[in-house]
Amino acid sequence: MKALLNRIIYSLITSCFVITLSAQTSITFKQLFQTGDMTPYIGQTLQLTDTLHLNGWGSQPRYMWVSDHRIQNSCEQGDNPRRAYSFSLTDNSISDYKRLGTKLAGVTMKVTTAEYATLIGTATYLNDERPSLHDCIGDYSLKVCGFNVEKFFIGIPGYETKTTKVIEALRNIDADIFGLCEVGEYPSAMYAIANTLNMVLGADIYAAIADNITDSSTVYSRSGFIYKKAKVSPHGDITEASTASIYKKRNIIQAFIENATGEKFVLSMNHFKAKDTTADQSEGTRITNATHLINTLSSIVPNKYEDPDVLIIGDLNSCTGEIPVKMLYEEGYDCLMNIYEPNGYSIVYNRTIERLDHALASATMAAQITGATTFHINTDERSDNSELNMYRSSDHDPVIIGLRLHSDNSGSDDECEGINMTTTFKAGLNPFIQQSVTGYQTWFSDANYGARISGYSGGSNNENVDWLVSPSLNLQDHTSAQLTFSHTINYDSNGKKKEYQSLWISDDYKGDVRAANWEELIIPVYPNGLNWTFISSGNIDIPQRYLKKDVHIAFKYISTSNESNATWQITDLQLKGTCIATSLPTLNSTPYSWICVINKDIIVHSSEANKASLIILYDITGREIQRLEFNTNIRFSVPATGIYLLKVGDEIHKIAVH
């Protein structure tokens, strides 16, 4: 009897255990790898709640290496790299390779080994479309592209296909200046690119610059420029930055003048030493390349081209955080890709993404950049792509930069208009960028509600620190600036919305929120945190100490794994500013308005001949003090005694307030 009872108890315990396992069909990616691999789940069928990302292929299209995010090379992650897990997922229903970066949702799979699983049924594939146009680079007047075209050599096997691909890429990008590297026989290969591009376009649009370097010792590859003759003109000849051995002709510098404005800038195109198995030695050579470039830009370039506006582009064969690139940061060059595409990439190696192709700008040049982007037409494609189109024209993605050139003392003859930035975030986060410090959840654009983020995902609360950072905001010559937006917060059951959903400002942000100094801007009005009702934030004044500077504002979101996490939604953002007049207007000799000053009051009566709708008051330096609308009569006060200029319609009056 006792033995029978023991068997019954054992049977009940065993069946309960089996029921528990079979019921666990839904699982997060974090749970899947809580022991380091999938060993605990071998033989089980699991439904993943997370969206997966395709990071690499196997020998056939159905074999895919996937993870819960696009895995960065460790050299991009600084001192605290994020531990990454991935596994091979077999989908027997597909016959074509999906692009890297494709997302898989609704995955149910059977785990076969610690690293392998097979898809059960079908998954939903997202974001696998090829880009046909590059992303926005702002309101530019010139477009510059840096592009490693990967062994463009005349006459080698596959030259015709290679030429078609490269030309199609250049035609689509439509840059005013291309800086190209890994170009073979020079200048004949550069001439071939320019001439073929012109033939495809059906007009004599582009020209190649023949360098003045006569040494023919380097035949493997060189760097060069082609440019639109109608848009820019070369100024001076090419300067060589690196003269060591085979690195002659790969790091070159050329000044260009924009034909429409007469403004000039200096363009540095580079191809640093490639990475190889002798990592220490190749890193040393890249450091030498960076040293030569820095020395040349600081010594020869200012005197030769007489312009401080320097844009550095090219394949530096160094990640964002490696020494050669850091050397350029330390010399005062801003990393544009950190600003416009943080955590971006230009190449895929061993299933990880990294940035080897860069764009950096001197301080004066950075103020003239309208945007920068990477055109992902190559690295997410199979290397054996032989289609006659631009996809996989190289093993690197081109980097594209927008410029709007102006004089270093621009504005001295024009009246400042004041900043005016508006966005709903419903068509995308642009011009803001999201930057994640901790966690998998990020800011995203909702077509109905604007910018949105929540740390609650997959049925659990998650730890996150995420920023939504504005573009550089030029508040130079401003007397005031004010920010407003609408927002809603829901599920704020811990009552920490003012701590976990906040607004900040920085005047030294360079692309990494952790490296910048931030000051909190108090949001006057918060939602009650318990519903989806949008309310106005109230007016938020930018502190005076941040005026006359380039600044960034940012929304910061925090969530934790042990608290209920709120959802924050933001829309209808507007930043408006009033700025100083940058020049003194000219006094009129025949005024049509009558002006009277009583104490600190100014009375204006305008005749029928000058029915003005606008009055602008300037102090004696030309700084705008007040702007008022009126018809023919108005009375208003000034803040202090002194000499003022008063613009009434088209007239200018000089007045003294005692």
pLDDT tens digits along 280-304? 568 888 999 999 999 999 988 888 9
Residues 246-262 have a mean pLDDT of 87
| Amino acid code (one letter) for 85 | Y
Confidence (pTM):
0.64
In the chain, domain spans: 21-126, 142-403, 420-579, 593-657
434-454 pLDDT tens trace: 899 999 899 999 999 999 999
330-344 pLDDT tens trace: 999 999 998 888 889
The pLDDT of residue 353 is 96
Residues 632-650 have a mean pLDDT of 78
The pLDDT of residue 10 is 44
Could you give the CA distance from residue 322 to residue 312 in angstroms, rounded to a whole number? 16
Give the residue with greater pLDDT, 168 vs 590. 168
The pLDDT of residue 201 is 96
The per-residue pLDDT of the chain, averaged, comes to 86
Could you give the CA distance from residue 247 to residue 222 in angstroms, rounded to a whole number? 9
Name every residue whose Cβ is closer than 8 Å to that of residue 653 and which is 6 or more positions away in sequence: 587, 588, 591, 593, 595, 645, 646, 647
Residue entry with tokens 């479309």: 129
For residue 491, pLDDT over 50 is answered with: yes
**The 633-637 sheet, strands edge to edge:** 593-598, 601-606, 633-637
Could you give the CA distance from residue 521 to residue 503 in angstroms, rounded to a whole number? 5
The pLDDT of residue 158 is 92
For residue 17, pLDDT over 50 is answered with: no
The pLDDT of residue 323 is 93
What topology does CATH give the domain 420-579? Answer: Jelly Rolls (2.60.120)
- List strand residue ranges (DSSP E) for 345-449, in order: 347-349, 352-354, 357-361, 369-374, 399-403, 420-423, 433-438, 444-446
CB atoms within 10 A of CB 507: 16
Could you give the CA distance from residue 379 to residue 397 in angstroms, rounded to a whole number? 6
The pLDDT of residue 584 is 42
Give the residue with greater pLDDT, 240 vs 179. 179
CB atoms within 10 A of CB 301: 21
The pLDDT of residue 411 is 38
Could you give the CA distance from residue 315 to residue 398 in angstroms, rounded to a whole number? 10
What percent of the chain stands above pLDDT 90? 59
The pLDDT of residue 278 is 56
The pLDDT of residue 83 is 83
- Is the domain spanning 21-126 CATH 1.20.1740? The answer is no
The pLDDT of residue 127 is 85
348-393 pLDDT tens trace: 999 999 999 999 999 899 989 988 999 999 999 999 999 999 999 9
539-582 pLDDT tens trace: 999 998 888 778 999 999 999 988 889 999 999 999 998 876 54
Residues 235-258 have a mean pLDDT of 85
Right CATH for 593-657 from 2.60.120.620, 3.40.50.300, 1.10.3720.10, 2.60.40.10: 2.60.40.10
* pLDDT tier, 400 (very low <50, low <70, confident <90, very high otherwise): very high
264-283 pLDDT tens trace: 999 999 999 888 755 556 88
458-474 pLDDT tens trace: 888 999 999 999 988 88
Residues 170-180 have a mean pLDDT of 98
| C-beta of residue 432 within 8 angstroms of C-beta of residue 425 | yes
588-614 pLDDT tens trace: 444 455 666 666 777 776 655 455 578
Least confident of 123-137, 171-185, 192-206, 236-250: 236-250
- Is the domain spanning 142-403 CATH 3.60.10.10? The answer is yes
